[in-house]
Amino acid sequence: MSTPDTTPKVDASIADRFTLKAFVEACLVLEEGVAGVRDIDMGMMLGTGMVPGPFARADFRGLDEVLAALENAEREWGEHFEPPVILRRLVAQGRLGAKSGQGFYPYPQVESGYETAPVKLDMRDDVAVVWLDNPPANSLSPDVIDGLRKAWEDLVARGARAMVLASPNPTLFCAGADIKAFTKWDADSGREHLEKIHALGRQWEGSRVMTIAAVNGMALGGGCEVAMACDVRLAGQSASFGQPEINLGIIPGFGGTQRLARLVGPAKALEMNTVGDPISAEEAYEYGLANRVVADHELFDAALSWGRKLAGQAPVALEQIKRVSHAGDLDEGLAAERDGFMKAFTSEDAREGISAFIEKRKARFKGR
């Protein structure tokens, strides 16, 4: 005689009902301004074990499919399943989630040859999206810098009129330089690396291609510096900006001693570079480091809108505006920054600071 199956049977409609209701409630919290998309997803994952969170889950399912499921649920289970306004708006805009390249979060639509690259190119008409995709921290390793240059040269050759620099990681833009790579530098290789980074930033600033950084989370150290090399910085509400190099016993080396002062003023730049603490998106906007602060789920769409607007401006005029706006002593300042960085980088304090960071301990600086 066979043993009866006592395994509990789970009705799939029950699981779907709970998932849909969680999504509706998450949308209400978002629409009321209680929290942003990222914070709601993170709270649901940490607090309820719902992985992925409701917004990411909906993106992967397809927002049009979620809308259809909610319309059916409203008919079957009542008004508490009425599709949220924000969902209807996103679907009407064609933001259907991962399959369309944008939903509550953005998703790369990668050009051929960039599928596994740490920097991915995504052409959207005459706006090129360059994705920093070097998990877990999007650190600016030498490979990433080379990838940025390759993508830049490619998008220029393809006739792009604007570039959006973005991150597919929902929690950060770029946490900075690859500190472990520093351990392989000597005076000559370190200077060569800095010169490559400075040259790329100056190409961006002298080009008729307009550049927009879509900063969706932490932009620290090199991440803040690469954003500052862009013409426009848009910040999601969860964004933060900082230059924490002082905590390693070194100085900003990717342009931070020069561009930051030009954007926020010498006093605030000196504070940020010597204290090392990050500032919020709102404070960045207040001081002129961010051009706009927008809701996290609207950041990528806003960046594309800026890109399309700027791509339609007169290219020659754009190039000349950028060229004369960046005229002056910036190149001399960057040269001085390279000298200062190498002097700090080759000090005993720098070796101690980098070692302490890698070993996750407090640095003991001795002033030599």
* Residues 141-158 pLDDT 10s: 999 999 999 999 999 999
* Sign, Cα dihedral of 73, 79, 80, 84: positive
H-assigned helices in 121-228 = 142-157, 179-182, 187-206, 222-228
Distance CA 201, CA 230 (A): 8
Our answer to whether residue 25 is catalytic in this structure is no
Amino acid at 194: L
pLDDT of residue 109: 93
* Residues 6-20 pLDDT 10s: 555 445 578 888 899
Q: What's the full length of the chain, in residues?
A: 368
Give the pLDDT band of residue 326 (cuts 50, 70, 90): confident
Spot the catalytic one: 111, 205, 225, 337. 225
pLDDT of residue 243: 96
* Tokens matching residue 63: 């927002």
DSSP state of 94: T
Least confident window among 81-95, 262-276, 278-292, 306-320? 306-320
Which domains are assigned to the chain?
12-100 (1.10.1040.10), 119-354 (3.90.226.10)
Give the pLDDT band of residue 170 (cuts 50, 70, 90): confident
Least confident window among 192-206, 285-299, 339-353? 339-353
CB 344 within 8 A of CB 365: no
H-assigned helices in 78-221 = 85-92, 142-157, 179-182, 187-206
Q: How many CA atoms lie within 13 A of 298 on its CB side?
A: 13
Our answer to whether residue 348 is catalytic in this structure is no
CB 290 within 8 A of CB 281: yes
* Residues 23-51 pLDDT 10s: 999 999 999 988 889 899 999 999 888 89
pLDDT of residue 328: 65
Peptide bond into 52 cis (omega under 30): yes
Residue 253 has pLDDT above 60, yes or no: yes
Residue 195 has pLDDT above 70, yes or no: yes
Give the pLDDT band of residue 339 (cuts 50, 70, 90): confident
Task: Give the pTM.
Answer: 0.83
* Tokens matching residue 252: 């900003």
pLDDT of residue 182: 80
Q: If you average pLDDT over residues 191-210, what whole number do you get?
A: 91
pLDDT of residue 11: 57
Distance CA 84, CA 61 (A): 16
Give the pLDDT band of residue 355 (cuts 50, 70, 90): confident
Distance CA 233, CA 224 (A): 10
| Percentage of residues of the chain with pLDDT beyond 70 | 94
- CA-closest candidate to residue 153, choices 127, 131, 124, 121: 121
Spot the catalytic one: 111, 205, 245, 337. 245
pLDDT of residue 347: 81
pLDDT of residue 6: 54
Phi (first) and psi of residue 273, to 5 degrees: -80, -25
Report the mean per-residue pLDDT for the chain.
Answer: 90
CB 82 within 8 A of CB 74: yes
Number of other residues whose CB lies within 10 A of the CB of residue 282: 13
